């Protein structure tokens, strides 16, 4: 894994909080992967290793629902990094107490039959670029996820607006995360 990018969603809006780290993969970069992201190993020589940023990543996604475009691919990379850490074997879900969803994956199957599908828009936007980046892909995922799941999330008429806002914030906190090598991840809280 060479890059992790996450975008937080609060109450169905990007909060402005982001997490992005480039990582030293401690191995050569496959030519196919290089063609996708364009990041050469020489540019990552001084970047931290996953173990050095692991606690920061966990703090950012702790308790979130991760919304991941291609969860099996991304989670596989993340879990492989967690497995390399010393101590007991762990996974991203066990370390960050988060859940993982891949709602866009199922939508991709239906996209071919729908002329105006947000997933098709996501695919077009991703393929119009020459290179992919984790944080940029996470931002695109946020846009598409919010478009696909549009509508009112809750309806409440509370006298205590501050209490209602706090309850909504804790129930609606998300983080969309993606990474080159662990690409297409998003998170919602």
Q: How many alpha carbons lie under 13 Å from residue 86 in its C-beta half-sphere?
A: 1
pLDDT score of 22: 95
pLDDT score of 111: 54
Q: Which of 30-34, 143-147, 175-179 has the highest mean pLDDT?
A: 30-34
| pLDDT tens track for 165-181 | 544 444 455 665 554 44
Closest CA to 24 of 5, 7, 39, 6: 39
Quote the Cα angle for 176-145-75, to 5°.
45
Closest CA to 102 of 176, 181, 14, 9: 176
pTM score of the predicted model = 0.73
Question: Mean pLDDT across the stretch 70-84?
Answer: 88
Q: Are 117 and 84 in contact (CB under 8 A)?
A: no
Question: Mean pLDDT across the stretch 45-74?
Answer: 89
Give the CATH superfamily of 3-188.
Answer: Ribonuclease H-like superfamily/Ribonuclease H (3.30.420.10)
Q: Active-site residues: which are they? A: 132
| pLDDT tens track for 62-75 | 888 888 877 888 88
User: Is residue 3 classed exposed, middle or buried when 0-12, 13-18 and 19+ CB atoms within 10 A define those classes?
Assistant: buried
User: Is residue 189 classed exposed, middle or buried when 0-12, 13-18 and 19+ CB atoms within 10 A define those classes?
Assistant: buried
Query: How far apart are the C-alpha atoms of 179 and 4, rounded to whole Å?
Result: 4
Q: How confident is the model at residue 118 (pLDDT cuts 50, 70, 90)?
A: low
């Amino acid at each position: 894994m060479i890059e992790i990018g996450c975008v937080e969603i609060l109450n169905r809006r990007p909060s402005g909080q982001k997490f992005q780290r480039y990582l030293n993969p401690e191995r050569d970069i496959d030519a196919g992967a290089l063609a996708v992201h364009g990041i050469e190993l020489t540019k990552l020589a001084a970047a931290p290793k996953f173990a050095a940023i692991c606690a920061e990543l966990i703090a950012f996604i702790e308790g979130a629902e991760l919304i991941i475009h291609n969860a099996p691919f991304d989670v596989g990379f993340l879990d492989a990094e967690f497995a390399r850490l010393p101590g007991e074997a762990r996974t991203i879900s066990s370390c960050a107490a988060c859940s993982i969803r891949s709602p866009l994956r199922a939508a991709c199957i239906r996209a071919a039959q729908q002329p105006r599908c947000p997933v098709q828009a996501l695919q077009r936007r991703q393929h119009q670029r020459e290179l992919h980046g984790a944080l940029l892909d996470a931002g695109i995922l946020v846009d598409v996820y919010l478009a696909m799941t549009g509508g009112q999330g809750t309806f409440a008429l509370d006298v205590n607006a501050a209490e209602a806002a706090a309850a909504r914030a804790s129930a609606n906190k998300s983080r969309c995360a993606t990474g080159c090598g662990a690409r297409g991840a998003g998170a919602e809280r």
